[in-house]
Amino acid sequence: MTADRYLKVEQPAATQVSGSGWVCLRCGYNLAGIARDGRCPECGLSVDASRPGGEFRTRPEAFLRRLKRGTILVQLSVLAPVILFVLWVIANVVAGWMLEDVDDSSGWHAVTDVASEVAAGVVLLGVATLALVGWWLVTTRDTEASRPEAGEGSRKATRAGAIALAVGAVFLAALSFVFDLSAVSIGAEAAPEEQPLWQFLTELSLLILFGAGSLTTMIGGALYIHSLGVKMGSRKLMKMATFRAWFCPAVGIGGIIACYVGPLVAVILYYRLLLKTHELLGRVIEMRRVSAAG
């Protein structure tokens, strides 16, 4: 298999040859006659970044595989809530059907409610862990970048958001475990009918922390993927990331207020962005192998 075959796999319009040279990925400047290790006179982008695979063609394979593994984990963190929500709905329907003729005084209804909330806490912890570890891998610092400062702000924002998301998830799950299990131990009749104010305020604060972390991670992650698109020479990935950086949060928040359609659309679009990033990283790894073999 030749290198030319791989070069045709990802051939954005910005990398087409203009005359005897290439066209700058960022601004479209004709790079004819400029050395590959030079920079675009118009915008300063390295000429090598306008090649298929961009600067990442020269990165260590271990670094690229680290990013690729991270995208897989983030994809799982995005898809898992949707899949588990569907399973939760099915489980509740089945449980309701099975307990339809069971007397409420038996306590089985309370037990199933608590079990459902505890399971939700476990799922929340799992999703937060996947997101934190995944984004931590994806945002690994590129120490060999020609412009180390490029994407640094979004990288830090993504990591900060992932940490906030994980912290909120841990404490929300802990509160759920403590209060739900204590309700089972003292019995449904002895449990207070109304939630204490301090508990309500604590859960609300943690929900705000979790939501803010999720939003920051979503926006920061998309912007950071945009910088990866620049380094991989993919205008398509850059456009996808730019669009999703504002559209997914807007649709997600608006959809929560209106219905569940908005978050579902945001999840699908963001998943496709992660899938494209994973696909391009795989192609760059193959390009690198072919170039090394040649």
25 in Cβ contact with 39 (< 8 Å): no
Structure tokens, 249: 């949060």
- Collect the ranges in the chain with pLDDT lower than 70: 1-22, 48-49, 52, 91-92, 95-115, 146, 180-195, 255-260, 294
- pLDDT for 291 equals 72
SS3 labels along 44-108: CCEHHHHCCCHHHHHCCHHHHHHHHHHHHHHHHHHHHHHHHHHHHHHHHHHHHHHCCCCCHHHCH
Q: Which residues of 110-137 are buried (b: 16+ CB within 10 A; e: fewer)?
A: bebbbeebbebbebbbbbbebbbbbbbb
- pLDDT for 112 equals 64
Domain ranges for the chain, please list them.
1-52, 61-293
Structure tokens, 36: 């590959």
Read off the pTM.
Answer: 0.78
- pLDDT for 216 equals 96
Name the burial class of residue 31, with classes exposed (0-12), middle (13-18) and buried (19+) by CB atoms within 10 angstroms of its CB: buried
What gap in Å lies between CA 59 and CA 292, rounded to an integer? 12
Amino acid, res. 278: H
- pLDDT for 101 equals 60
Instruction: Name residue 22's beta-bridge partners.
Output: 17
